[in-house]
Amino acid sequence: MTDPIIRIQKLDKSFGTLQVLDGLSFEVKPGEKLALIGPSGSGKTTILRMLMTLETISGGRIEVCGEPLYHMTKGGREVPADEAHLHHMRRHIGMVFQHFNLFPHKSVLDNITLAPILTKGEPKAKAEAHAMELLDMVGLAEKAKAMPSQLSGGQKQRVAIARALALKPRIMLFDEVTSALDPELVEEVLLVMKRLAAETDMTMLLVTHEMGFAHEFADRVLFFDKGRIVEEGPPDRIFTNPTHERTQTFLRKII
Ligand code: ADP
């Protein structure tokens, strides 16, 4: 059996007195496409942010590619590792956010090449050649010289996907990537993600309210409520025959 690429064990997360994740455990196999669904506030985005080391953990353990994301102190608590370790671990993971977060004063091409040049020391010509391949993949090769302000929301999000891919991550995290888009722009972004899922062996974790898309995209669906996994399984079963009452209520409301 292959080792999991992500292993989350008894993970706790609190913001002040608010407990957001409550002893959460799950594993992800290399290449798996996972959809995280559930009511707002159930902790889905927090999990992605913790994997991206954008949040500290309150207890438990996260391993990515067999290595702990956080270091254990003598007192038995895990704390953020030093910058060098975080830098090393972040190279495994790319994340696409709800609000694209492109650099507004950089061209599309520069947005994509900046990290490979600065963090991996890639030569400019090589980074640009790779960026052009990625832009071609997301259908935006002709926009390489454009500025973000000249793009539609759907185009910005496709650039953000290309930018996350530029560091060749083994794991991609997508956080509500279509929820800030006008409805007519959603499809073009989903299409790119579908192609990515079908054509690459990257591991992908998707937080979404687009249940139709989650059904098509995912190998496995995790349903969250109050910082715990209430139910999980293949999309066909979760969407057509959920066993837990909370999953049934949620899906009745949203579909
Ligand atoms: P979901 O993605 O399932 O909607 P989130 O992970 O975004 O849920 O949020 C879970 C809970 O944590 C929410 O109640 C949210 O308000 C809270 N939360 C998230 N980030 C912070 C933060 N930085 N400070 C305080 N509370 C936060």
| d(C-alpha 101, C-alpha 118), whole Å | 18
What is the per-residue pLDDT for 201?
92
| d(C-alpha 94, C-alpha 59), whole Å | 24
CB 176 within 8 A of CB 98: yes
Q: Does the C-beta of 40 come closer than 6 Å to ligand 1?
A: yes
ipTM over 0.95: yes
Q: Does the C-beta of 15 come closer than 6 Å to ligand 1?
A: yes
Q: Does the C-beta of 46 come closer than 6 Å to ligand 1?
A: yes
pTM above 0.90, yes or no: yes
Q: Whose CA is nearest to atom 11 of ligand 1?
A: 41
* CA 207 to ligand 1: nearest atom: 2
Distance (Å) from CA 43 to ligand 1 centroid: 6
pLDDT in tens, 145-162: 999 999 999 999 999 999
252, pLDDT greater than 60? yes
CB atoms within 10 A of CB 157: 29
85, pLDDT greater than 80? no
Q: Whose CA is nearest to atom 27 of ligand 1?
A: 15
pLDDT in tens, 137-146: 999 999 999 9
pLDDT in tens, 90-104: 889 999 998 888 999
User: Is the dihedral angle over the CA atoms 126, 190, 33, 198 positive or is it negative?
Assistant: negative
* CA 43 to ligand 1: nearest atom: 6
